[in-house]
Amino acid sequence: MGSINGSLLLVAFFMYLLATILFAVAVMGRKWRNKEGEVTGSRWGKIGFAAAIIGFLFSVGYFIARWIEAGHAPVSNMFEYTTFLGIALSFAFLILYAIYKTDVLGMFTMPVVMLIIAYASVFPTEVAPLIPALQSNWLKIHVTTTALGQGILSIGFAAGLIYLIRTLDFTKRSGKVFWLEFIMYSLISLVGFIVVRYLFKLLDYEAVFQYVDKEGQEGEMVYHLPALLGPHQGELLTSGAMEPLLNLPAWMRSDDANTVIWSLVMGLVLYFIIRLIGRKPIGGMLQPALKGINPDTIDEVSYRAIAIGFPVFTLGGLIFAMIWAQIAWTRFWGWDPKEVWALVTFLFYAAYLHLRLSRGWHGEPSAWLCVIGFAIIMFNLVFVNLVIAGLHSYA
Amino acid sequence: MNELKCEQCGHVNPYGTRLCQACGNPLDEKDKEAAVIDMRYEGVARRSQTYNKTFVDKIWNFFSSVKVGISIIVLTLIASALGTIFPQEMYIPKVVTAAQYYQEEYGVLGQIYYMLGFHNLYGSWWYLALVAALTTSIIIASIDRFFPLYKSLKHQRVKKNAAFMKRQRYVGKEEVDNEDAVLEKAKALLLKRRYRVREEEGNLLAEKGRFARWGPYVNHIGLVLFFTGAMLRFFPGMYIDDSVWVREGDTEVIPGTNGEYFIENEKFVMELYDEEDETFGKAIERAGGMVVQNFQTDAVLYKRKDDGTVGTDPELEKVKEDEIRVNHPLRFNNFRLYQSDYKLNELNTMTFSLRSRESGEDIGTMEIDLFDPESEYDLGDGYKVVVNSYFPNFEFNEDNEPSTKSSIPDNPAFIFQMITPEHPDEGEYSFVGIRRNEDVFGTNDYEMKFAGAEMKNVTGLTVRKDLTLPFIILGASIFMIGLIQGSYWSHRRIWLQRINGQVWVAAHTNKHWESLKKDLGVLSAETGLQAHENEALLLNKKGKN
Ligand code: HEM
């Protein structure tokens, strides 16, 4: 990574970490009382907000520096796009915090911002040249606006999650508790993924396989994690590297599948360690910290985030996308998987808004919908990008 | 149908009205008992809630239901997602039939996918029917609500009765000494917070952001326009999707223009990024070397001057020159020409020489235009080469006979008949192709020697006309305006009424109560007039939690 933009992003990352801590203190720190005995949590929250703003400014610095270095807006590969999504999320948080001043939102979104930025840096970070189809201002406008829209919609998810943790009954086993724990587990798996990737990056781990692909051609595949799942008819070329437990059929991307398995396993390990220490569902561990939060307010925050994010997403993900497609691909709509999933996202949030406004779905059902919406966004970002390769695939 | 006379104020309301349109008094038994009245659409009479007799009524009620509307949205969503499980037919390679492709690539699931028609899902009749149902639902639901709501809000009265006030979500009552002064202060305050304040018999109605209520209707109109525009594509003449291949130096007629416009390819280039590049070098190496920087056709657009009689060479008039690049189409009238494909180094001409095997001497050379070979080439002095057969894209067919796969000279081959002074009548036969040179009947005195070839780049342009674009643009713009209008503003109202010697406060908004609460907070701090969340409502909530 270029030195200047890399350092700016690193500083931003640590500012977000600082903000996380400050917001956590603001939410949980009942000890901090002023002379009158009042809880002064929100003062810590204000400092946290300042840290978040500074972090955001540094990440904008990263964006500009990298733009200058590359000569084009840095949103054209997986690393750049994902990093931008993290920045967009932090910006979306700033907007919502300015309206509602909810510290708990910072406690939840700031770590997610960090996770996204860390996840981004797993992808190749060098500046890549633009192929002709990507040389368009409309593309940049489309991508940045979409990311911003997705960032704001994700705040809806964060608030929905807070609502669920705040209101669910964790003392009983139930489907709801199971699914909430499943969300926590998914987030932890992301942590697990980042941890193992960095670990083996530090060790410079590499295992080269010779394998036979779908068309029957021989090729080489490089693994950066020990291969639990090897490629089709894979033969390990690197000495000292681990032999795979199982070789996959040719139609699967075995290196990606291997990474997924690693994250899921690491997630499981981390999850059970946490459960062993806490001795109750993770949601139940967090719940006491959220006692002071008014569920109605956080419910409204989630709706507000979606009301703000939906037009931005529509503009970026559909309208600007159509303008770009009309210029670059000769037609404004082509039913490419990525396009279709943007449409699915749009229809989903349209359904959400109608359920909420006209059918009175507030509170818990609304919160679950926010979770599903976020899952759709992530599906589009990760799965459609990496697996169903279409026009938009960066990989 | 009976009209409803309000027992409080005597106003006569149309049948189906739930809240008196003058004073807000609940008319419906359910609302009379409710802790908080349903303020949706101001309790106005809607057609769908009022009539349910005829067939038309039933259709109307079906489509105006939001439940139905949401179901259609969700069905469309699921259908759309299904189409991405396997690639759509338009994205699969053209070399095999679709039936074969889905089966071979995706097995039984692929076969099922194909049989269900999911390989062409977005063009299927049922997908279009879903979109049509969505559009119908949007239109009917909007008409059903907009007109009554509009009338109701336009004619709303300031003065409300106690039954209305106490059934609002936020209410409060205050004994105050000087009602006039307090209300005057409240009015000034609300004006400052950019409310529009109206007065009636000493009562106040402060209102803000009413136009946000029209947001959904505006955005729905945009959607309907958009879908209509998309459907117009099926009308003949609205949409052209064609393509044309042009070799360097050639001029071709542009399909879809009735032979009126022509395009010349002066030059086609494909440029690569420099692999030594300081910034991009590493990324280019990762990509395995070549990364394309630019595809470009230097093009000239011509218009036909004469009337275009068949058979005559067209008389052309230059209209404009342009560089057609990806992301930079050439535009004329309603047409766009897009850079969408290319072929580098396509064989254009080949040169052969006729050589005597004995002396090794070249008798003469001939250049063959591979797109328009002559039937014979006279080399003088009794030497002549006749093109007996020409296979632009040579292969042996099933019967093991020489034939051609296409008319594009990707792999040209010839059977030449060499007429020489030694063989003046029948000549000798020679079969010449790329990397093959055979005598057809054994030993010849002469042979055809390959002497060179000229290659040209070919550009593939997509020809596009789309007259639906204005509708699409208009629809999308109106949609966005409506969406922003409804999302970034909200309709807030605060009623201040003198009832039984007290001042009553009630507040309502269609969304974002926190912002309204802020206004109420300021009001209470400055005037002492407080409104709290309705106690009955709070009791309900406690019961639930
Ligand atoms: C993809 C299609 C649709 C989109 C994008 C869309 C968009 C919207 C939006 C953004 C709102 C405002 C929601 C809010 O402020 O929270 C709205 C409201 C509404 N929509 Fe739709 N809509 C769609 C389809 C439909 C359909 C099929 C119906 C049919 C029943 C419908 C009926 C309504 C109604 C009744 C409202 C509330 C209007 C009001 O409160 O005055 N919409 N729509």
For residue B89, what pLDDT is reported?
Answer: 86
Q: Do B512 and A300 touch (CB under 8 A)?
A: yes
A6 and A122 fall within a common domain: yes
| Distant-in-sequence, close-in-space partners of A189: CB < 8 Å, separation ≥ 6 | A263, A264, A266, A267, A268
Q: Which atom of ligand 1 is nearest to the CA of B64?
A: 30
Mean pLDDT (chain B, rounded) = 87
B269 burial (CB, 10 Å; 0-12 / 13-18 / 19+) is: middle
Residue of higher predicted confidence among A393 and A94 = A94
CB of B216 closer than 6 angstroms to any ligand 1 atom: yes
Q: What are the pLDDT digits (tens) for B206-258?
A: 999 999 999 999 999 999 999 999 989 888 888 888 999 998 888 989 998 88
A335 touches chain B (CB under 8 A): yes
A27 and A98 fall within a common domain: yes
Decide if pLDDT at A324 tops 90.
yes
A160 and A291 fall within a common domain: yes
Mean pLDDT along residues A333-340: 89
Q: Which of the listed residues A221, A255, A289 is the one where a domain comes to its end?
A: A255
Beta strands in B116-260 (DSSP E): 170-174, 196-200, 203-208, 239-247, 251-253
A345 and A223 fall within a common domain: no
Mean pLDDT along residues A13-18: 91
DSSP string across A42-95: HHHHHHHHHHHHHHHHHHHHHHHHHHHHHSS-S-SSHHHHHHHHHHHHHHHHHH
**Chain B: closest CA distance from residue A92 (Å):** 15
A110 and A154 fall within a common domain: no
Ligand 1 pocket: which of A312, A357, A361, A369 to mutate (most atoms within 8 A of CB): A357
For residue B146, what pLDDT is reported?
Answer: 93
A213 and A305 fall within a common domain: no
Mean pLDDT (chain A, rounded) = 85
CB of B222 closer than 6 angstroms to any ligand 1 atom: no
A285 and A159 fall within a common domain: yes
A279 burial (CB, 10 Å; 0-12 / 13-18 / 19+) is: exposed
For residue A255, what pLDDT is reported?
Answer: 76
Least confident of A43-52, A380-389, B477-486: A380-389
End-to-end distance of chain B based on CA atoms, in angstroms? 43
Q: In angstroms, rounded to a whole number, what is the distance separating the alpha carbons of residues B97 and B76?
A: 28
Q: In angstroms, rounded to a whole number, what is the distance separating the alpha carbons of residues A376 and A154?
A: 11
Q: In angstroms, rounded to a whole number, what is the distance separating the alpha carbons of residues A341 and A352?
A: 16
Which residues in chain A are contacts of B65 at CB distance < 8 A?
none
ipTM value: 0.89
Which residues in chain A are contacts of B472 at CB distance < 8 A?
322, 332
For residue B309, what pLDDT is reported?
Answer: 63
Mean pLDDT along residues B280-295: 79
In a domain, A188, yes or no: no
For residue B209, what pLDDT is reported?
Answer: 92
Mean pLDDT along residues B64-85: 94
A151 and A293 fall within a common domain: yes
| Distant-in-sequence, close-in-space partners of A167: CB < 8 Å, separation ≥ 6 | A295, A363, A364
Closest C-alpha among B227, B74, B447 to residue A372: B74
Mean pLDDT along residues B341-357: 88
CB of B66 closer than 6 angstroms to any ligand 1 atom: yes
Q: What are the pLDDT digits (tens) for B4-28?
A: 888 778 888 888 888 888 888 888 8
**Atom 19 (ligand 1): residue with closest C-alpha?**
B216
For residue A43, what pLDDT is reported?
Answer: 81
Annotate A106-134 with three-state secondary structure: HHHHHHHHHHHHHHHCCCCCCCCCCCHHH
Residue of higher predicted confidence among A156 and A130 = A156
Q: What are the pLDDT digits (tens) for A111-125?
A: 999 988 988 887 777
Q: In angstroms, rounded to a whole number, what is the distance separating the alpha carbons of residues A9 and A97?
A: 22
CB of B483 closer than 6 angstroms to any ligand 1 atom: yes
Ligand 1 centroid distance, CA of A259 (Å): 41
CB-based burial, B305-341: b 16+ in 10 Å, e otherwise: eeeeeeeeebebeeeeebebbbbbbbebeebbbbbbe
For residue B541, what pLDDT is reported?
Answer: 59
In a domain, A330, yes or no: yes
Q: What are the pLDDT digits (tens) for A360-379?
A: 788 889 999 999 999 999 88
Q: What are the pLDDT digits (tens) for A150-178?
A: 999 999 999 999 999 999 988 888 889 99
For residue A310, what pLDDT is reported?
Answer: 97
Cβ distance B340 to B462 under 8 Å? yes
**Chain B: closest CA distance from residue A118 (Å):** 20
Q: pLDDT class for B425, splitting at 50, 70, 90?
A: confident
Residue of B nearest to A350 (CA): B73
Mean pLDDT along residues B193-200: 92
A59 and A123 fall within a common domain: yes
Which residues in chain B are contacts of A297 at CB distance < 8 A?
514
Least confident of A23-32, B163-172, B272-281: A23-32
Closest C-alpha among A197, A205, A192, A339 to residue A268: A192
**Chain B: closest CA distance from residue A349 (Å):** 10
Q: In angstroms, rounded to a whole number, what is the distance separating the alpha carbons of residues A125 and A117?
A: 12
Decide if pLDDT at B447 tops 50.
yes
Where are chain B's structural domains? 43-153, 239-340+460-464, 346-455
DSSP element (H, E) containing A229: strand A229-230
Phi, psi of B293 (to 5 degrees): -100, -35
A212 touches chain B (CB under 8 A): no
Domain that holds residue A289: 137-170+280-395
DSSP, res A315: I
DSSP, res A39: B
A96 and A20 fall within a common domain: yes
Torsion over CA: B4, B7, B11, B16 (sign):
negative
**Atom 13 (ligand 1): residue with closest C-alpha?**
A353
For residue A387, what pLDDT is reported?
Answer: 56
Mean pLDDT along residues A195-221: 81
Q: In angstroms, rounded to a whole number, what is the distance separating the alpha carbons of residues A69 and A29?
A: 43
Mean pLDDT along residues B265-284: 83
Q: What are the pLDDT digits (tens) for B302-319?
A: 998 876 566 667 788 899
Which residues in chain A are contacts of B284 at CB distance < 8 A?
128-129
Decide if pLDDT at B278 tops 90.
no
Q: What are the pLDDT digits (tens) for A68-85?
A: 888 888 888 888 888 999
For residue A177, what pLDDT is reported?
Answer: 92
For residue A1, what pLDDT is reported?
Answer: 47
DSSP, res A154: H
A136 touches chain B (CB under 8 A): yes
CB of B153 closer than 6 angstroms to any ligand 1 atom: no
Q: Do B80 and A344 touch (CB under 8 A)?
A: yes
Q: Do B327 and A126 touch (CB under 8 A)?
A: no
Q: In angstroms, rounded to a whole number, what is the distance separating the alpha carbons of residues B326 and B336?
A: 12
Q: pLDDT class for A274, splitting at 50, 70, 90?
A: very high
In a domain, A356, yes or no: yes
B9 burial (CB, 10 Å; 0-12 / 13-18 / 19+) is: middle
A68 touches chain B (CB under 8 A): no
Share of chain A above pLDDT 90, in %: 39
Cα radius of gyration rounded to whole Å, chain B: 40
A239 and A125 fall within a common domain: no
In a domain, A217, yes or no: yes
Cβ distance A267 to A188 under 8 Å? yes
Residue with tokens 């009413």, as numbered in its chain: B210
DSSP string across B200-242: ETTEEEEEE-GGGGGHHHHHHHHHHHHHHHHHHTTSTTSEEEE
A322 touches chain B (CB under 8 A): yes
| Distant-in-sequence, close-in-space partners of B235: CB < 8 Å, separation ≥ 6 | none
In a domain, A241, yes or no: yes
Q: Do A124 and B283 touch (CB under 8 A)?
A: yes
DSSP string across A170-194: TTS--HHHHHHHHHHHHHHHHHHHH
- If one counts the domains in chain A, the total is 3
Decide if pLDDT at B96 tops 70.
yes
Highest average pLDDT, of A22-26, A314-318, B55-59, comes from: A314-318
Which residues in chain B are contacts of A220 at CB distance < 8 A?
none
Q: In angstroms, rounded to a whole number, what is the distance separating the alpha carbons of residues B377 and B285?
A: 50
A85 burial (CB, 10 Å; 0-12 / 13-18 / 19+) is: buried
Q: In angstroms, rounded to a whole number, what is the distance separating the alpha carbons of residues A191 and A223?
A: 20
What is the pTM assigned to this prediction?
0.88
CB-based burial, B127-139: b 16+ in 10 Å, e otherwise: beebbebbbbbbb
A83 and A62 fall within a common domain: yes
Q: Do B511 and A357 touch (CB under 8 A)?
A: yes
In a domain, A272, yes or no: no
**Atom 4 (ligand 1): residue with closest C-alpha?**
A350
